[in-house]
């Protein structure tokens, strides 16, 4: 990907600074459409507003399931935000993408934590090996 090749090398210990100037990040296109177009649902063929209104018990179940799924994904994103917040040396405006966050955390755990642990335990002979990353995920 462009972002990965230009800004983030998963083999680097830390990613380069990545600017994500998106004031609307966190708001889905669907929600933005709802706000901006006030009922004009063109262009969102799968959006809730343009879907056939589901009625009956099946429709109610589907809407509840959608709600739960939205909530579940928001929780997942909150967890990712929490992870981002504890990763070291990240400038304010350098919000990592999801995949970058996971890779960065993995590298951080694998190298920094493992090396520190190795040194602390006096296992210095293992430290050079820790710099050889296991296969990429």
Partner DNA sequence: TAGGCCATCTGGTCCT
Partner DNA sequence: AGGACCAGATGGCCTA
Which residues here bind DNA, judged by CB under 7 A?
1-4, 6, 19-33, 36, 42-48, 51, 54, 61-66, 68-70, 72-74, 77, 97-100
Nearest distance from C-beta of residue 36 to DNA, angstroms: 7
CB of 90 to DNA, least distance (A): 14
DSSP for residue 136: P
- Contact assessment for residue 81 and residue 95, using Cβ atoms and an 8 Å cutoff: no
Whichever of 79 and 109 has its CB closer to DNA, that residue is 79
d(C-alpha 56, C-alpha 25), whole Å: 34
Whichever of 101 and 130 has its CB closer to DNA, that residue is 101
For DNA, the closer of residues 4 and 112 by Cβ is 4
Minimum Å gap between C-beta 53 and DNA is 10
Alpha helices, DSSP H only, in the chain? 2-6, 29-37, 56-86, 98-107, 114-120, 127-130
């Amino acid at each position: 990907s462009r972002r990965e090749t230009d800004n983030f090398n998963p083999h680097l210990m830390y990613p380069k600074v990545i600017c994500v100037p998106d004031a609307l990040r966190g708001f889905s296109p669907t929600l933005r459409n709802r706000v901006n177009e006030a009922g004009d649902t063109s262009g969102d063929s799968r959006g809730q507003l343009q879907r056939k209104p589901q009625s009956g018990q099946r429709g109610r179940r589907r809407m509840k399931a959608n709600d739960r799924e939205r909530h579940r994904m928001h929780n997942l994103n909150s967890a990712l935000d929490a992870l981002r917040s504890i990763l070291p040396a990240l400038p304010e405006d350098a919000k990592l993408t999801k995949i970058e966050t996971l890779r960065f955390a993995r590298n951080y755990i694998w190298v920094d934590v493992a090396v520190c642990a190795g040194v602390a335990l006096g296992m210095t002979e293992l430290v050079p090996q820790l710099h050889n990353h296991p296969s990429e995920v």
